[in-house]
Amino acid sequence: MDFSQVVSTTVYLDNLSDSSAFNKVYSEYFQGALPSQTVLQQIAPGDRTPDANEHYPDLEQMSLIAVKTSKTAIDKFCK
Protein backbone atom coordinates (compact mmCIF):
# COMPACT_ATOMS: atom_id res chain seq x y z
CA MET A 1 0.00 0.00 0.00
CA ASP A 2 1.08 3.59 -0.46
CA PHE A 3 -0.02 7.17 0.24
CA SER A 4 -2.34 7.14 -2.80
CA GLN A 5 -4.61 4.71 -0.93
CA VAL A 6 -4.93 6.83 2.22
CA VAL A 7 -8.52 8.05 2.68
CA SER A 8 -8.37 9.56 6.16
CA THR A 9 -5.78 10.87 8.62
CA THR A 10 -5.85 11.93 12.25
CA VAL A 11 -3.03 14.30 13.17
CA TYR A 12 -1.97 14.94 16.77
CA LEU A 13 0.03 18.14 17.24
CA ASP A 14 1.52 19.53 20.43
CA ASN A 15 0.38 22.99 19.37
CA LEU A 16 -2.32 23.84 16.83
CA SER A 17 -0.29 26.87 15.76
CA ASP A 18 2.01 24.32 14.05
CA SER A 19 -0.80 23.39 11.63
CA SER A 20 0.44 25.52 8.72
CA ALA A 21 3.97 24.11 8.90
CA PHE A 22 2.61 20.59 9.26
CA ASN A 23 0.22 20.97 6.31
CA LYS A 24 3.07 22.17 4.10
CA VAL A 25 4.94 18.90 4.72
CA TYR A 26 1.69 16.86 4.67
CA SER A 27 0.84 18.04 1.15
CA GLU A 28 4.22 16.83 -0.14
CA TYR A 29 3.23 13.20 0.51
CA PHE A 30 -0.19 13.19 -1.16
CA GLN A 31 -0.93 13.81 -4.84
CA GLY A 32 -4.25 15.23 -6.06
CA ALA A 33 -7.08 15.53 -3.57
CA LEU A 34 -5.88 15.31 0.02
CA PRO A 35 -7.43 12.64 2.25
CA SER A 36 -9.89 13.64 4.94
CA GLN A 37 -7.96 15.13 7.87
CA THR A 38 -8.75 15.60 11.55
CA VAL A 39 -6.25 17.67 13.56
CA LEU A 40 -6.14 17.52 17.36
CA GLN A 41 -4.00 19.26 19.93
CA GLN A 42 -2.55 16.79 22.39
CA ILE A 43 -2.51 17.27 26.10
CA ALA A 44 1.09 17.04 27.23
CA PRO A 45 1.69 13.77 29.10
CA GLY A 46 2.64 14.15 32.73
CA ASP A 47 6.04 12.48 32.34
CA ARG A 48 7.41 14.98 29.79
CA THR A 49 9.12 18.05 31.20
CA PRO A 50 9.02 21.45 29.49
CA ASP A 51 12.14 23.27 28.33
CA ALA A 52 13.24 26.71 29.60
CA ASN A 53 10.50 28.37 27.49
CA GLU A 54 7.81 26.07 28.89
CA HIS A 55 7.56 24.14 25.59
CA TYR A 56 7.27 20.40 25.60
CA PRO A 57 9.41 18.26 23.26
CA ASP A 58 7.61 17.86 19.95
CA LEU A 59 5.56 14.72 19.79
CA GLU A 60 3.58 14.97 16.58
CA GLN A 61 1.81 11.83 15.50
CA MET A 62 -0.36 10.83 12.59
CA SER A 63 -2.72 7.91 12.18
CA LEU A 64 -3.57 6.85 8.61
CA ILE A 65 -6.46 4.84 7.21
CA ALA A 66 -5.87 3.38 3.76
CA VAL A 67 -8.17 1.33 1.58
CA LYS A 68 -6.99 -1.30 -0.83
CA THR A 69 -9.50 -1.79 -3.63
CA SER A 70 -9.52 -3.63 -6.87
CA LYS A 71 -10.73 -2.22 -10.18
CA THR A 72 -13.63 -4.72 -9.99
CA ALA A 73 -14.73 -3.34 -6.60
CA ILE A 74 -14.54 0.24 -7.88
CA ASP A 75 -16.55 -0.66 -11.01
CA LYS A 76 -19.27 -2.33 -8.88
CA PHE A 77 -19.42 0.66 -6.52
CA CYS A 78 -19.76 3.16 -9.38
CA LYS A 79 -22.70 1.35 -11.02
Edge-first strand listing for the sheet containing 36-41 = 36-41, 6-13, 61-66
CA separation for the pair 24, 2 (Å, rounded): 19
Q: Could you count the other beta carbons within 10 Å of the beta carbon of residue 71?
A: 7
pLDDT digits (tens, 9 = 90+) for 27-75: 999 888 889 999 998 876 556 677 888 776 666 788 999 988 765 665 5
> What is the pLDDT, as a whole number, of residue 63?
92
Beta strands in 14-66 (DSSP E): 36-41, 61-66
